[in-house]
Amino acid sequence: MSDTKKNLPVAFLGTEFNNFLFASIGADRIGGQLSVVSALARMNLDPWDEAEKLSFLSDDSASKKVITWMSRSPELVSNLEDRNKTARRLVALLPQHILGKPRPARSDSVEKTVITARTIAVSLVIGTLLIFAGEMLSNSHAAAPRLFSHSSRPAAASTPTASPPGL
């Protein structure tokens, strides 16, 4: 990863790894939940850099790397079976990349459709704009002047004309 990305504030690093980085990696020695980002930072590893590297590995290789981290973390309390399950769960949260291409579909029960907060926000904005546009059209139609209405025409004079005498 380039040095410029490492110097960027967290807000510019992207959110594609948030599900993975902020997931619980397990309980620490005092019973609190330890997140992936916290565990990696305690090992002096850049969490976003490590997550990006993992996203390009196969599921098995990524799981082995996570298990290695878990075994190197002295605060983390877990047995090997728990580490295997946790590693598989965490790897399933990574974006699916293999050398810039989508990973093949996973066989585990990873949810295929994810509705993000951004999707919901965009949908709400579009819906609000459509409602607003409909109201504007409705109000402009009701307020349009009636140019050819019968009530706005002046009444025609109806005075009888006299016939000339003798005809």
Question: For every one of its 167 residues, what pLDDT tens digit does the chain have, with 9 covering 90 and above?
Answer: 444 445 544 444 568 888 999 999 888 888 888 899 988 988 899 998 899 889 888 889 999 999 998 888 877 777 778 889 999 999 999 887 644 554 444 444 444 445 566 777 778 888 888 888 888 888 876 655 555 555 555 555 555 566 666 65
Q: Are 43 and 75 contacting, i.e. CB atoms less than 8 angstroms apart? A: no
49-75 pLDDT per residue, tens: 899 889 888 889 999 999 998 888 877
Give the relative orientation of helices 59-72 and 47-55 as an angle to the nearest 10 degrees: 150
Question: pTM higher than 0.75, yes or no?
Answer: no
Q: How many helices (H) and strands (E) does the chain have?
A: 7, 2
Q: Are 41 and 47 contacting, i.e. CB atoms less than 8 angstroms apart? A: yes
* Residue with token string 């976003």: 48
User: Residue 158: CB partners within 8 Å, gap ≥ 6?
Assistant: none
Q: What phi and psi values does residue 28 have, to the nearest 5 degrees?
A: -90, -175
Outline where 7-79 has alpha helix (H): 18-21, 36-42, 47-55, 59-72
Nearest to residue 47, comparing CAs of 84, 1, 92, 86? Answer: 1
User: Residue 3: CB partners within 8 Å, gap ≥ 6?
Assistant: none
Q: Where are the domains of the chain?
A: 3-91, 111-142
DSSP 109: -
Per the structure block, which two tokens stand in for 125? 């904005």
Positions of E strands within the chain: 24-27, 33-35
CA distance 48 to 15: 10
